[in-house]
Amino acid sequence: MDMQRVLVTGGSRGIGAACVKRFSALGYKTAFIYKNSDISARELSDIYGAYAIKADISNPDEAKRAAQMAIDFLGGIDVLVNNAGIAQFKLFGDITDEDWDRMMSVNLSGVFYVTRALVGTMISQHSGRIINIGSMWGKCGSSCEVHYSASKAGIRGMTMALAKELGPSGITVNCIEPGVIDTDMNSELSDEEMVALCEQTPLCRIGKAEDVAHLSEFLASEKASFITGQVIGVDGGFAI
């Protein structure tokens, strides 16, 4: 294991929690940012020894404060997993200005704010891994999720541009695009809709949060040291 200090945003539930558990189990010194799930955050801290930081990363000042708390606790930063995000199902014509702004502020601006706050430390140590969690809908778009799809497409572009800029500083930047994953983010989907999505997936199952955590583990490792600017789907072949 070469990278030892990791920060996960949106780390109290779903994919983020799976990443916190996985990195902690591997011996990484782990911190995570969360906003609302106090009980889940406390359990992760108690069981896995991860440092919980409560903050709203859509607020640039809070994101900067949380990032500095992570650096202070970890003694630096080797791996950043930008996972925090929200979703909303709405017809395009029903999306309000507030809906659009909230989606962009969390899913896209939040990635920018946290990364900006940490990248100086990575540059100074001439190493680091940035792993952005996007979505397959950023690639192929989802009906009734235009604002969500647009925010995740933005993460694709940010990943590739930042990989070019930070490569000379020894920092890799990659994006994971999960498909339909069994987390509470998909709780609004009915059983019938979940079955239909499963049937549209070549591997004929819904993904698990651990599927994404395992790829995050690989991208954080020395084995992935020559991989950067890549967008990798973890979707069972759905977006082929």
69 phi/psi in degrees, rounded to 5? -60, -40
In sequence order, the 6+-apart residues with CB closer than 8 A to the CB of 130 are 79, 80, 82, 115, 119, 122, 162, 166, 171, 172, 173, 174
What DSSP string describes 78-114?
Answer: SEEEE---------GGG--HHHHHHHHIIIIIHHHHH
Contact (CB, 8 A) for 114 and 80: yes
Q: Give the residue among 129, 214, 133 at the shortest CA–CA distance from 169.
A: 129
SS3 31: strand
Q: Give the residue among 11, 4, 65, 77 at the shortest CA–CA distance from 38.
A: 11
148 is an active site residue: yes
Number of other CB atoms surrounding residue 125 within 10 Å = 14
Find the radius of gyration of the CA atoms of the chain. 17
Check 28, 34, 51, 148 and give the catalytic one. Answer: 148
Contact (CB, 8 A) for 75 and 28: no
Can you tell me which residue has the tokens 């859509």?
58
**Which sequence positions are flagged as catalytic?**
148
